[in-house]
Chains A and B, each alone.
Chain A
Amino acid sequence: MSVFDGLKFRKVKSPIHDLDPRVKFIYVCVIFAIALIFWELIPLLILFLIQLPFVLLGKVQRQWLRSLRGAAFLAIIIFVTNFVFSFIGAGYRFTAESLESAFALTFRFVVLVESFSIFFLTTSPDNLSLALEQTRVPYEFCFAFTTAVRFVPVLANEAQTIMDAQKARGLELERGNFLKRIKNYIPILIPLIVSAIRRSLELAEAMESRAWGATKNRTNLYVLRMNKNDFILLAITTGILITAVYIRLFIPIPSVCELLEI
C-alpha cells in the first residue's frame, strides 16, 4: 500500500503544483522518451539528477522518497535479472561493463518512476480532469478517469479490511504450496470485486438521482491558463529534448568503465 501513498496528491502551495498539468504531462512524456533512447549509465544518471530540483521546488521530498522505496523491490529485480543475463551472456564472466549496464537499466526504471511520481504528487485530480476536458476529451471519460484515480486508495483500504475479515475466519494466506496460495486469495478477490462493482453501481445511481449530466454544455468555474512558469517549463522541456536527441545522434557517450579505464 505504501506504493499508493507515494503517488497520493496532497495540497501544498508550490510553483510546481501551480503548473499547468498539460505542460507537466508533456514534460513527463519527454523524460519518458529520453529515458528510453539512452541505455548508458551517465545520461540516465543525469536525467535522474536534473529532476531533483522539481522535487525540492514542489516540497514533496518525503512522499517522493516513499514512492521510490515502493519501487525499490522492482528495481532490484530488474537489476538482478539484467546482471544475471549479461553474466551468462559474457560466458559466465563477471565484467565491470555488465555491472554498469545493469545499473543503467535499473536507473532507467527509477527515472520513469521518479517523473511519474513528481507528476502525480503535484497534480490534483481536479486539475487533471480540467486538463483532459480542455483537450476536448468528453466529460464522461474525464469523470470516469478521475473517479478511478480517486478510488485507488479507497480500494487499497478495502482490500486490507477484507483480508482482516477473512483472517478472522481462519484463512491463512501463507499456507500450502504455490497453487494453494493463489487459491487462498479467492476469498479476498471476490468480495473486493463485488464491492467495487456494487460501489460503482451505487455511485452511478446516487449521481443520476442528483441530476448528473442534466446540462449538456458544462462550463467550468476554473479554467486552466498557461502563464509564465508554464512557458518556462515548456522551454526547458524543449531544450532537454533537443539536447538529448542531438547527443544521441552525434556524440559518442563514454561509459563509466572507459572513464575509469577499467
Chain B
Amino acid sequence: MIEVKNVYFTYPNGVEALKGVSLTIKDGEFVAIMGQNGAGKTTLVKHFNGLLKPTKGIVLVDGVDTRKVSVATLARKVGFVFQNPDHQLFSETVEDEISFALKNFRFEAETINKRVDWALNLLGLTRYKKTSPFMLSGGERKRVALASVLAWNPKILILDEPTIGQDYQQKEKLRHFILQLNAQKKTVIIVTHDVEFVAECNPRVILMSNGEIIADGEARKILTDPKIVTEASIVPPQITQIFIKLKNYGFPRDILDIYEAREAILNSLRKGFK
C-alpha cells in the first residue's frame, strides 16, 4: 500500500513540481496517472520508490517512511521502469542487462537464470538473449528495460510511459500483460498520455495538473466528463467523443471502447426495428 500525505516537492532550481498531493493506492490496484506535460506525474511516481523525498509531507510504502530507507531496499518491492530505456541499458548482452538487478538483490545463480528466461519469454525477447541491447530498435530496448524490472517480480510495478514507440501488436500484448499482472494481485501504476490505452484497460484514473490532483476515480467517469478532461488538457478516446456528440439521439455517453459502442449501437438498432 502506498500512502501519500499532503506532499510538496520543490526541485533544487526552485520549480515547485508537487503542491499538496494526497492519495492512497491499495494493494492490487491498477492506477493510471494522466495529465499534461510537466504536470508532475513523473515527479510523483519517483516518490513511490524513494528516488525523490518529499520537501514537505510524507510518503509511506507498506507503512515505511520513504525517507528512512534506501532506494535499493524499496526497489525490491517497488519496480520502476523509466520513460527512456537508454537511461539504464549498459550491459553487453540483453541477458546481462536483465540479470543486473537480480544480482544486486543477491538472488542465487540458478534462480537468476530461470528468472531471466522467464522475463525474456514474457516480452518476446528470447531470440535476443545474446544480442547487445544497443543493437535493438527503440521499441525493443523499451521491452528490455521492462523485462529487466519484471524479472525480480516486484509487488508494485510503476511504468512511466510504457506504450511510447510500441507497435499496435506490442501494445495489445502489453495491455494483456498488465491486466494479467493485476489479476495476480500486483499493484500496477502507469503514467501515460495514451487515452485509448487507458480506456481499454479501465483502471482507476488520477488526473494531474500543475502539481495537483484534479480528479481521481474510475476511468469511465473521468474520461467521459468533458469538463474534467479539458481542465487536464487531454482528449477523450475517439469513440467516447463520438458518443458524447450523439447524446441527443438517446445514446449513452459513457462509452469507452469499441465493444461497448457496438453494444450501444446494436441496442438502438434493435429498438429502431421494433
Chain A residues in the interface with B (C-beta under 8 A): 1-2, 5, 158, 161-162, 164-172, 186-187, 190-191, 194-195, 198
Bound CA span A167–B84, Å: 15
B49 — nearest CB in chain A belongs to which residue? Answer: A168
- Residue on A with the closest CB to B106? A170
Q: Are A165 and B82 in contact (CB under 8 A)?
A: yes
Chain B interface (Cβ within 8 Å of chain A)? 12-13, 46, 49, 51, 70-72, 75-76, 79-80, 82, 84, 86-90, 100-101, 104-105, 134, 148-149, 152
| B86 lies within 8 A of A164 (CB) | no
Chain A binding site: helix, strand, loop or mixed by DSSP?
helix
A169 touches B51 (CB 8 A): no
By the criterion CB–CB under 8 Å, are B51 and A172 in contact? no
Establish whether residues A164 and B46, one from each chain, have CB atoms under 8 Å apart when the complex forms: yes
Task: Write the chain A residue with the least CB distance to B145.
Answer: A165
Q: A166 to chain B: which residues have CB within 8 Å?
A: 88
- The answer on a CB contact under 8 Å between A169 and B89 is no
**Which B residues lie within 8 Å of A169 (CB)?**
75, 88, 100-101, 104, 148-149
10 A–B contacts, CB within 8 A, in A order: A1-B12, A2-B12, A161-B82, A165-B88, A168-B79, A169-B101, A169-B104, A170-B75, A172-B72, A172-B104
Q: Is the CB of B88 within 8 A of A167?
A: no
Please measure, in the bound complex, the distance between the C-alpha atom of A27 and the C-alpha atom of B240, giving whole angstroms.
66
* Bound complex: CA A194 to CA B136 (Å): 14
**Shortest distance from the beta carbon of B12 to any chain A beta carbon, whole Å:** 8
Question: B90 near A186 (CB under 8 angstroms)?
Answer: yes
Residues of A within 8 A of B86 (CB): 191, 194-195, 198
When chains A and B are docked, how far (Å) is the Cα of A252 from the Cα of B72?
61
Measured between beta carbons, the chain A residues less than 8 angstroms from B46 are 164
Residue numbers in A under 8 Å from B76 (CB-CB)? 170
Supposing A169-B104, A169-B149, A171-B104 touch, asked if A162 and B87 sit within 8 A by C-beta, the answer is yes
With a CB–CB cut-off of 8 A, which chain A residues contact B134?
194
Q: Which residue of B lies closest to A198 (CB)?
A: B86
